[in-house]
């Protein structure tokens, strides 16, 4: 093998740049030329390649986001789009590809692998719903950003004896909301995986005041049927009966843009190096992830399109501890 390429796809996650750096420098150590593909699968189809040296990835380990960029590429879901991507790889003599991203990205990696091209995936998504890795790149940083926001809002909530709804990212998975709610000591956690009733949410917040608490916090996943805006609307319509003020803070993309913490830098580095080592050993068609503290490979045909279930037993634990 003489040439490999690396791309980032899907939503950006803190630590992606550390993974890019690891793949590039690990590949160069093998004596390979390494190309970066700009704008994910869109760049792969458009031929947006750039040769990367060790110096090109210097100083990026601490940066959030991805220096290679990411973009939606619905055309890649077609056979014609994937054939164009393969033609661009072959035209540059690229013999293998490393894909850093989440579920949709790894489904794309699997599609290329099925067409006979060597691909290794690297697990990266703040949703932490990707099968094949206990924790994915970006989760720890995003969780800590959400937790800091909750801690700060508690101060204001206590000062004014108010209730706050804090909406965190998680369109298709409630992992961040669940973990941020537990770590932040929230009175209520609303997930898309569990049906919620607005009246029950409000009643739980009221019960916190009756127990003598100076504040009440509800952490809500953005993908929940009753998200923060829906709950706020319900509270406004029933304000006289409820009897307390309710404020909403939607964290949104601020969670994804943070400087990666130590855990995500280390995880991304280990996964990137692991991807290179697998390719050097002639192995591909796998996803690199963290399993029981080790960097291990899961076949892409097992990981692609498969979501990791949320441990809903933790929701009951959170309910008990909130009292």
Which residues belong to the active site? Answer: 127
Return d(Cα 22, Cα 223) in angstroms, integer: 33
Question: Nearest 5°: CA angle at 313, between 151 and 206?
Answer: 50
| Residue 76: DSSP 8-state | G
319 annotated to a ligand binding site: no
254 annotated to a ligand binding site: yes
CB 259 within 8 A of CB 63: yes
253 annotated to a ligand binding site: yes
3 annotated to a ligand binding site: no
Calculate the alpha carbon distances from 7 to 20, 41, 87 in Å.
Answer: 8, 8, 16
292 annotated to a ligand binding site: no
47 annotated to a ligand binding site: no
160 annotated to a ligand binding site: no
23 annotated to a ligand binding site: yes
77 annotated to a ligand binding site: no
Closest CA to 97 of 125, 78, 76, 127: 76
Residues 6+ apart with CB under 8 A from 287: 106, 109, 120, 121, 122, 123, 130, 132, 133, 297, 298, 299, 300, 303, 304
Which residue do the tokens 């899961």 mark? 298
82 annotated to a ligand binding site: no
CB 189 within 8 A of CB 137: no
- Bridge partners, 122 (sequence order): 100, 288
154 annotated to a ligand binding site: yes
83 annotated to a ligand binding site: no
Calculate the alpha carbon distances from 264 to 13, 64, 180, 230 in Å.
Answer: 9, 11, 17, 33
Burial environment of residue 3 by CB neighbours within 10 A (0 to 12, 13 to 18, 19 or more): middle
318 annotated to a ligand binding site: no
Return d(Cα 23, Cα 4) in angstroms, integer: 9
270 annotated to a ligand binding site: no
11 annotated to a ligand binding site: yes
127 annotated to a ligand binding site: yes
171 annotated to a ligand binding site: yes
255 annotated to a ligand binding site: yes
Q: Half-sphere exposure (CA, 13 Å, Cβ side) for 93?
A: 7
Return d(Cα 163, Cα 151) in angstroms, integer: 13
Annotated binding site for substrate: 125-127, 162, 169-171, 222, 247, 253-256
Which residues define the annotated binding site? 11, 21-25, 72-73, 125-127, 154, 162, 169-171, 185-187, 211, 213-215, 222, 247, 253-256
Binding residues for ADP: 21-25, 154, 185-187, 211, 213-215
**Residues placed in the known binding site for ATP:** 11, 72-73
């Amino acid at each position: 093998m003489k040439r490999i390429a690396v791309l980032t796809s899907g939503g950006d996650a803190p630590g992606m740049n550390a993974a890019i750096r690891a793949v590039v420098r690990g590949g160069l150590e093998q004596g390979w030329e390494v190309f970066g593909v700009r704008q994910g699968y869109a760049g792969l189809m458009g031929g947006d390649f750039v040769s990367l040296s060790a110096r090109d990835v210097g100083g990026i380990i601490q940066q959030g986001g991805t220096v290679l960029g990411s973009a939606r590429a619905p055309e890649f879901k077609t056979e014609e789009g994937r054939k164009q991507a393969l033609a661009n790889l072959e035209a540059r003599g690229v013999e293998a590809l490393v894909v850093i991203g989440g579920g949709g990205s790894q489904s794309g990696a699997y599609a290329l692998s099925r067409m006979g091209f060597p691909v290794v995936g690297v697990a990266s998504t703040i949703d932490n719903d990707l099968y094949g890795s206990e924790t994915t790149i970006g989760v720890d940083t995003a969780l800590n950003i959400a937790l800091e926001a909750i801690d700060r809002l508690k101060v204001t909530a206590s000062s004014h004896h108010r209730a706050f709804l804090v909406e965190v990212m998680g369109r298709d998975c409630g992992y961040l909301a669940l973990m941020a709610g537990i770590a932040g000591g929230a009175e209520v956690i609303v997930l898309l995986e569990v049906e919620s009733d607005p009246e029950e949410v409000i009643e739980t917040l009221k019960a916190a005041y009756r127990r003598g608490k100076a504040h009440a916090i509800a952490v809500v996943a953005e993908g929940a049927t009753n998200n923060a805006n829906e709950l706020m609307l319900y509270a406004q319509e029933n304000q006289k009966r409820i009897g307390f003020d309710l404020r909403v803070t939607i964290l949104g993309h601020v969670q994804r843009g943070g400087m990666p913490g130590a855990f995500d830098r280390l995880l991304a580095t280990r996964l990137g190096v692991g991807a290179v080592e697998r390719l050097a050993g002639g192995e591909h068609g796998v996803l690199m992830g963290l399993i029981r503290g080790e960097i291990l490979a899961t076949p892409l045909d097992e990981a692609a399109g498969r979501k990791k279930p949320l441990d809903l037993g933790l929701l009951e634990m959170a309910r008990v501890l909130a009292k």
